[in-house]
Structure 1
């Protein structure tokens, strides 16, 4: 067992996570790390190399994807002793238990404020629990979900989606599951290609791997995906699906203008490309036509209740292309029959009673207050944000690198995500951070954390190479 491995990253140019991945690969192939050898923990190796835990975590993830490492919950990370497995090789998220680190303020992912969700769900469960019929003794069905799909049509009335009915909707276990459902429905061949923004939500590449697809990044700018780069990628790769976030690009907070949405819809038609329009993060009203409205023949609009009500509900939905609703529901049926009755009945009660809309408005109001506080604290820097979006994008001042700032912020009790975490496996990331609105953290801790980030941003290391 070898827990003292400490590579020299100066021998490997480029981003630290790629340098560490290459060092792992070379040490394993050279026999310096034997099959079964245990690697240092993420935190121990990060401390030893003076990099962020996120850098080590990403390198471990990449090496695990290649089949070089194997992670065992509760035991650690080891050099793989056999051929790569065919299924998933690591968790979608590397969970970090902050129970033993109560001083840390976590601004990595948005946290919903408590606006009465638990009490509302308790009351709804009491209502539905008083009238359980014999149909609860059988498998749930797609037919039985029609009232919930109809209620979701009303829920989506603040979006410009074009004409939709419950027949256009398929339900899923959250937004991540919705992505996979569309992949399963649309992808064909031994090695299909999925295009997405070159900085994107990591779940896209994980879902793509489950579908045995190659995920290729396409250039983005301040307005989102670049049409010229998309057309070049279509010609080069013959892709089948484009995953895009036009309303609230994650992580850069960009909002795509109408002209570009129209251009992307036209390119998709030209190359017979299916579009997944991911709108899970957009919780404020929008008057811009969605790509689903511009290209209803080929756009799968994906959303969930996780960012507006509660991620514990695990309710996602897909507004399928015109005439494809049945195909989407059949894919869901072949995967899990239908949603469980407790989930579907609870969500139906919350939506039909109007409680869900009240909770959503309360969440938006609290997020707006905290977002404004974040903008006030960090507005002296080149930040990117939009109203209603629970995170901001912070291109770093000259002199800062994302990994260095993230490490220094953590040393002062603040956790943030650097741009590297959103880059594709072979992609490059700018020196930037995504800072999330934390609705669940008391103001007495939230505001000082923002002040800490502002102070660090204003004082880049004087000896940093630029």
Structure 2
């Protein structure tokens, strides 16, 4: 029988309406207001009752189904699922959206690399690789065979202050997200380990933690990143094992941690025997500041990739392990996937050794710098946080705007932005703020027009909005 009495008040939940409805469903099921086996109203019926679009209800139902809360049966409807344990991931890492069917939208949610000749460079590299194929391509790849590529990564990282570093300190991964998982697998122990991270953080951290059966606890941040006193209090309270940080380019707030703060964080990690995961996948063009890996080489795992500087399609990343832990990192990778696929590893080695990767990175950074200047010119009169070399900015909204309302209004005018709610942990609170990407793949005239639209909306907040 369809449960028509359940009518949640979505105003009780911050953020986009589809996420608000997902949370309302989750709470109603867990507290028993919606019993297992209850049939939910149709998408259109619930949309009518809640005064939202059918698309909003459809997205919420889809998310709740992915979490195992609902079960959808073709021809019968959507039901509250039985309370049985569900194995594996329960939510998509990213909510994909097919913009080919919505070509009028300009997507400023995630940085997109500009086309600076990657296709030509990859084609030339693959031609060189193809001319030298031999019987080794018939066998499994090996960690030993990746030694030249690990040495090339050492050269690639020469613009970073990482402390003592050799090819033996490096483990290669299938992108930065895979790097996070590798570190978690190396370091976490026990039935319910705890990971500490910034209270506004890259969503992939909590998804990787869920796979590792770990709990993520947010630690308060300020204009320099994580607050040492808050970190120490969390260490005393939770007995955590790993600290995940983005000191160079905090995602999403674009802040940079100073040297004194880094040193204080490293000392607290030593005091409480925390392993540090230093995420530098989003990174400034170059840095002369000592990394956490340089300050605490005995406990810091430095994760990076080529996704944000050369091509996301490569799915190639690396972990600079703590001193003496490189073999442990590579053994963990070997147990997971033997080694990188030869087409990927050989292509990346050629790009690095030929200098093509470095040239592509230089061109990408130049294009991002030009577009970042356009963002600052268009939105700089507002409370904008940014760094030279970063492909995103952080914008606390003017008084009168709520993040969810602004995102819906911007989408109605053809611009997609990402609000702070998407970076908040499950029990955290998000400010009314946006992360706006410097999207290099969008034609420049459309990019500039989208910025003009955002500037116009920001300057005209709803006069009747309570804040």
Pairwise TM-score range, normalised by the shorter structure? over 0.9
1:416–1:435 contact (8 Å) kept in structure 2? yes
1:52–1:407 contact (8 Å) kept in structure 2? no
Q: Secondary structure at the match of 1:195?
A: strand
Tell me the residue number matched to 2:144. 143
Tell me the residue number matched to 1:118. 119
In structure 2, relative to structure 1, the CA distance for the partners of 1:22 and 1:346 (3 Å cut) is closer
Task: Determine the C-alpha separation between the residues in 1 that align with 2:396 and 2:426.
Answer: 21
Q: Aligned-pair distance for 1:8? A: 3.7
1:311-337 deviation digits (Å, cap 9, x = unpaired): 110001000000000000000000000
Residue 380 (structure 1) aligned with residue 381 (structure 2)? yes
Q: Aligned-pair distance for 1:79? A: 3.4
1:147–1:348 contact (8 Å) kept in structure 2? yes
Residue 269 (structure 1) aligned with residue 283 (structure 2)? no
In structure 2, relative to structure 1, the CA distance for the partners of 1:6 and 1:143 (3 Å cut) is same
Q: Secondary structure at the match of 2:434?
A: strand
1:46–1:53 contact (8 Å) kept in structure 2? no
Task: Give the 5 Å matches for 1:217-228.
Answer: 217-228=218-229
Task: Give the 5 Å matches for 1:264-303.
Answer: 264-303=265-304
Q: Aligned-pair distance for 1:296? A: 0.2
1:16–1:55 contact (8 Å) kept in structure 2? no
Q: Secondary structure at the match of 2:115?
A: coil
Which 10-residue stretch deviates more, 329-338 or 281-290?
A: 281-290
In structure 2, relative to structure 1, the CA distance for the partners of 1:112 and 1:53 (3 Å cut) is farther
1:52–1:404 contact (8 Å) kept in structure 2? no
TM-score normalised by structure 2 residue count:
0.92
2:34–2:80 contact (8 Å) kept in structure 1? no
Tell me the residue number matched to 1:446. 447
1:374-418 deviation digits (Å, cap 9, x = unpaired): 110000100000000000000000010000000000000000000
Task: Determine the C-alpha separation between the residues in 2 that align with 1:15 and 1:354.
Answer: 44
Aligned residues: 462
Q: Aligned-pair distance for 1:19? A: 5.2
Q: Aligned-pair distance for 1:36? A: 6.3
1:115–1:359 contact (8 Å) kept in structure 2? yes
Task: Give the 5 Å matches for 1:36-47.
Answer: 37=40, 40=43, 45=47
The CA RMSD measured in Å over matched residues stands at 2.8
Moved over 2 A (4+): 1-8, 10-23, 25-41, 44-65, 69-73, 75-82
Q: Secondary structure at the match of 1:369?
A: helix
In structure 2, relative to structure 1, the CA distance for the partners of 1:463 and 1:332 (3 Å cut) is same
In structure 2, relative to structure 1, the CA distance for the partners of 1:300 and 1:39 (3 Å cut) is farther
Task: Determine the C-alpha separation between the residues in 1 that align with 2:150 and 2:238.
Answer: 36
2:150–2:172 contact (8 Å) kept in structure 1? yes
Q: Aligned-pair distance for 1:283? A: 4.4
Q: Secondary structure at the match of 2:43?
A: coil
Q: Secondary structure at the match of 1:87?
A: coil
Task: Determine the C-alpha separation between the residues in 2 that align with 1:364 and 1:13.
Answer: 39
Task: Determine the C-alpha separation between the residues in 1 that align with 2:276 and 2:56.
Answer: 31
1:12–1:22 contact (8 Å) kept in structure 2? no
Tell me the residue number matched to 1:358. 359
Task: Determine the C-alpha separation between the residues in 1 that align with 2:433 and 2:451.
Answer: 16
Tell me the residue number matched to 1:434. 435
Q: Aligned-pair distance for 1:201? A: 0.4
TM-score normalised by structure 1 residue count:
0.93
Q: Aligned-pair distance for 1:45? A: 5.0
In structure 2, relative to structure 1, the CA distance for the partners of 1:14 and 1:457 (3 Å cut) is closer
Alignment partner of 1:30 out of 30, 33, 39: 33
Task: Determine the C-alpha separation between the residues in 2 that align with 1:76 and 1:353.
Answer: 57
In structure 2, relative to structure 1, the CA distance for the partners of 1:264 and 1:64 (3 Å cut) is same
In structure 2, relative to structure 1, the CA distance for the partners of 1:187 and 1:36 (3 Å cut) is farther
1:258–1:289 contact (8 Å) kept in structure 2? yes
1:141-185 deviation digits (Å, cap 9, x = unpaired): 000000000000000000000120100000000000000000000
Note the residue ranges of structure 2 that are not aligned, 5 or more in a row: none
1:2–1:33 contact (8 Å) kept in structure 2? no
1:192–1:213 contact (8 Å) kept in structure 2? yes
Note the residue ranges of structure 1 that are not aligned, 5 or more in a row: none
2:224–2:258 contact (8 Å) kept in structure 1? yes
